[in-house]
A and B are shown apart, each in its own frame.
Chain A
């Protein structure tokens, strides 16, 4: 158990819908990262937050947004969903920044039908 909790574990939704994925980082970790992993593909970096502020952005679609709350949990919002958004979405956290070990959650498997 990495200590990073992601909910829900599985999500099935229809095209055009909007979903929210939630991540609770390890206690004391200030950084949260979000990744998308499509079937048999690599991890695509979406966005990183540090202590409530956006720190770095990857190839995140405009339909996607995220935030980190004062209690340090984070949410990833995906809207106007398309079939191609079906993937595993991982959240990771680290104590400080990218130079410290990152701990990954179990992921949320999103299926868009």
Chain B
């Protein structure tokens, strides 16, 4: 069955450093991959969508890569700030597969 894996352990980093979060998937070949941010008790907020032919996408301090060979997406936050502390969710999406399903998320804590 299809599986989405995100590092369940919290990622603790120092302010100003680059945070790198990983999303691995198995048993399917997504054509798109979305990343969302979720704060405690709040609904997720969309950050970026990357297509399989894009390899890399940037938005301000955010960068997402998509390696269909490794079946992996990396999410980078450069010059991280305490306000970036949240849980980050990935959602790989196959063409024609209509379920918007998320990984369990990785909690990021940025310390001053």
Which residue of A has the minimal Cβ distance to B31? A99
Q: Do residues B41 and A88 form an inter-chain contact, with CB atoms below 8 A?
A: yes
Q: In the assembled complex, which residues on chain A have CB atoms less than 8 Å from the CB atom of B42?
A: 106-107
Q: Are A43 and B49 in contact (CB under 8 A)?
A: no
The verdict on A107 contacting B43 (CB below 8 Å), with A98-B93, A99-B93, A101-B49 known, is yes
Q: How large is the interface on B (under 10, 10 to 19, 20 to 34, 35 or more residues)?
A: 20 to 34
Query: Which residues in B have their C-beta under 8 angstroms from that of A42?
Result: 89, 102-105
Smallest CB–CB gap between A63 and chain B, Å? 21
Most buried by A among B34, B41, B46: B46
A4 partner residues in chain B, CB cutoff 8 A: 43
Please state if A106 and B100 are interface contacts (CB–CB under 8 Å): no
B16: which A residues are within 8 A, CB to CB?
none
Number of interchain pairs (Cβ within 8 Å): 57
Count A-side interface residues using an 8 Å CB cutoff: 24
Contacts of B104 in A (CB 8 A): 41-42
| Chain A residue nearest to B99 in the complex (CB) | A56
- Verify A45–B100 contact, CB threshold 8 A: yes
- Is A58 touching B99 in the complex (CB atoms < 8 A)? yes
How many Å from the CB of B110 to the closest CB on chain A? 20
B98 cross-chain contacts in A, Cβ below 8 A: 48, 55-56, 97-98
The reply to whether B32 and A43 form a contact with Cβ atoms under 8 Å apart is no
Per-position 1/0 for A28-62, Cβ under 8 A of B: 00000100000001110100100000011010000
Chain A: which residue is nearest B43 at the CB level? A104
A58–B2 CA distance with the chains assembled, in angstroms: 13
Q: Is B101 an interface residue (CB 8 A)?
A: yes
Closest 3 CB pairs between A and B?
A104-B43, A42-B104, A56-B98
B residues engaging A (CB < 8 A)?
Answer: 32, 34, 41-46, 49, 89, 93, 97-105
